[in-house]
């Protein structure tokens, strides 16, 4: 039996990961806004500190792995870019920084961070917002999205996922991480039918963009299929996998970028 922490466990892909881990006999400490072992709001710094400390207390300072699935999709609203930034970027990196020693204590821990294929398929994501996030400056990142007007939440989503993916790839190869036996990788789903996508499909302007987005396999992904990939990335099959981004998106990324390899 291994011990895992999973954020975003109450819904969608995080819930599907938890279901599989528990069915395989593992112990999971769940983190979410509701229906979780650790109820914490990852959009605030105190909420993130609480999540770090309560998980560490629950697992006795040793974690075999973690899955960071909590996230917010683009939705209309003035405050949305800031919220997306806090949850999707800081809600990943601050938790992993706080759990690093516990992951190192396991000797061969695996971490999977939820990125998105918007990292490679969304044009115009401002590089200065990504740079600001990697420097830890949320305010500067959010300011960089303002000029996009109604598209600011979408840009904040893309920016948060690019930044969190770069953070994963930079840290993955550092002595503190891979040198401590921690395998840090990301999964980049395309459109997967979860409550997050359902909310976007219920917003007419976003639904139009999502429906016109090319998905060569057709339709939307199933959360369980994405969870199966995460389980593989938590297994010994990932012992030689470091800083990888696994794209599971029905072919959208290949459709846009077949030759960018
Ligand atoms: P979902 O909405 O079904 O689940 C997300 C979970 O995150 C929810 O349980 C929610 O309560 C939790 N969460 C949101 N804000 C939080 C906060 N402030 N504090 C704590 N928990 C919070 O979404 P999903 O589609 O399963 O998404 C999982 C991950 O996959 C997200 O990071 C998302 O960005 C990413 N992703 C989703 C898609 C898709 O099409 N569904 C595509 C690419 C990437």
57 to 19, 43, 52, 131: CA distances (angstroms): 23, 21, 9, 33
Instruction: Please give the positions annotated as active site.
Output: 157
Instruction: Quick: pLDDT tens for 139-165.
Output: 999 999 999 999 999 999 999 999 999
Domain-located, residue 261: no
CA distance 12 to 192: 9
- For residue 172, how far is the Cα from the chain centroid? 15
Residues forming a β-bridge with 28: 4
What pLDDT does residue 206 have?
A: 86
| Domain containing residue 184 | 3-253
Domain-located, residue 130: yes
Cβ of 250 closer than 6 Å to ligand 1, yes or no, is no
Cβ of 72 closer than 6 Å to ligand 1, yes or no, is yes
Nearest ligand 1 atom to alpha carbon 196? 2
Report the CATH number at residue 38: 3.40.50.720
46, 80, 196, 253: residue to mutate for ligand 1 pocket, most atoms within 8 A of CB: 196
Domain-located, residue 258: no
Nearest ligand 1 atom to alpha carbon 88? 32
141 to 1, 132, 199: CA distances (angstroms): 41, 5, 25
Residue 237, burial from CB neighbour count under 10 angstroms (0-12, 13-18, 19+) = exposed
Domain-located, residue 228: yes
Determine the distance separating the centroid of ligand 1 and the alpha carbon of 36, expressed in angstroms: 14
Residue showing tokens 């605030």: 44
Instruction: Quick: pLDDT tens for 14-57.
Output: 999 999 999 999 999 999 999 999 999 999 999 999 999 999 99
What pLDDT does residue 153 have?
A: 96
What is the ipTM score, two decimals?
A: 0.99
Domain-located, residue 260: no
Cβ of 248 closer than 6 Å to ligand 1, yes or no, is no
Cβ of 69 closer than 6 Å to ligand 1, yes or no, is yes
Nearest ligand 1 atom to alpha carbon 73? 34
Describe the chain by its helix, strand, coil percentages, rounded to 5: 55, 15, 35
**Along the 261 residues of the chain, how does pLDDT read in single tens digits?**
999 999 999 999 999 999 999 999 999 999 999 999 999 999 999 999 999 999 999 999 999 999 999 999 999 999 999 999 999 999 999 999 999 999 999 999 999 999 999 999 999 999 999 999 999 999 999 999 999 999 999 999 999 999 999 999 999 999 999 999 999 999 999 999 999 999 999 988 889 989 999 999 999 999 999 999 999 999 999 999 999 999 999 999 999 999 998
Domain-located, residue 128: yes
What pLDDT does residue 205 have?
A: 83
Nearest alpha-carbon partner for 156 in 93, 46, 114, 164: 164
Number of domains the chain is built from: 1
Are 105 and 62 within 8 A, CB to CB?
A: yes
SS3 12: helix
Determine the distance separating the centroid of ligand 1 and the alpha carbon of 259, expressed in angstroms: 30
Domain-located, residue 259: no
Cβ of 86 closer than 6 Å to ligand 1, yes or no, is no
Q: Following CA atoms 113, 117, 118, 123 in sequence, which dihedral angle do they give, to the nearest 10 degrees?
A: 130
Cβ of 104 closer than 6 Å to ligand 1, yes or no, is no
């Amino acid at each position: 039996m291994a011990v895992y922490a999973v954020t975003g466990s109450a819904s969608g892909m995080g819930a599907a990961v938890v279901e599989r881990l528990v069915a395989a006999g593992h112990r999971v400490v769940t983190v979410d806004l509701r229906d979780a072992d650790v109820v914490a709001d990852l959009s605030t710094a105190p909420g993130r500190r609480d999540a770090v400390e309560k998980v560490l207390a629950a697992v006795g300072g040793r974690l075999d792995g973690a899955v960071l699935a909590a996230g917010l999709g683009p939705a209309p609203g003035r405050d949305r870019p800031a919220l997306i930034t806090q949850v999707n970027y800081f809600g990943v990196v601050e938790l992993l920084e706080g759990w690093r020693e516990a992951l190192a204590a396991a000797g061969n821990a695996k971490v999977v961070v939820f990125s998105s294929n918007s990292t490679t398929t969304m044009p115009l994501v401002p590089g200065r917002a990504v740079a600001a996030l990697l420097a830890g400056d949320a305010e500067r990142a959010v300011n960089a999205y303002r000029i996009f007007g109604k598209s600011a939440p979408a840009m904040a989503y893309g920016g948060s996922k690019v930044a969190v993916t770069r953070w994963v790839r930079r840290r993955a190869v550092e002595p503190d991480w891979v040198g401590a036996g921690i395998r840090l990788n990301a999964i980049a789903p395309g459109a997967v039918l979860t409550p997050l996508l359902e909310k976007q499909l219920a917003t007419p302007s976003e639904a139009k963009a999502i429906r016109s987005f090319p998905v060569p396999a057709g339709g939307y992904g199933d959360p369980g299929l994405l969870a199966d990939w995460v389980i593989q990335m938590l297994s010994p099959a990932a012992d030689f996998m470091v800083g990888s981004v696994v794209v599971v998106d029905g072919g959208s990324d290949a459709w846009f970028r077949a030759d960018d390899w």
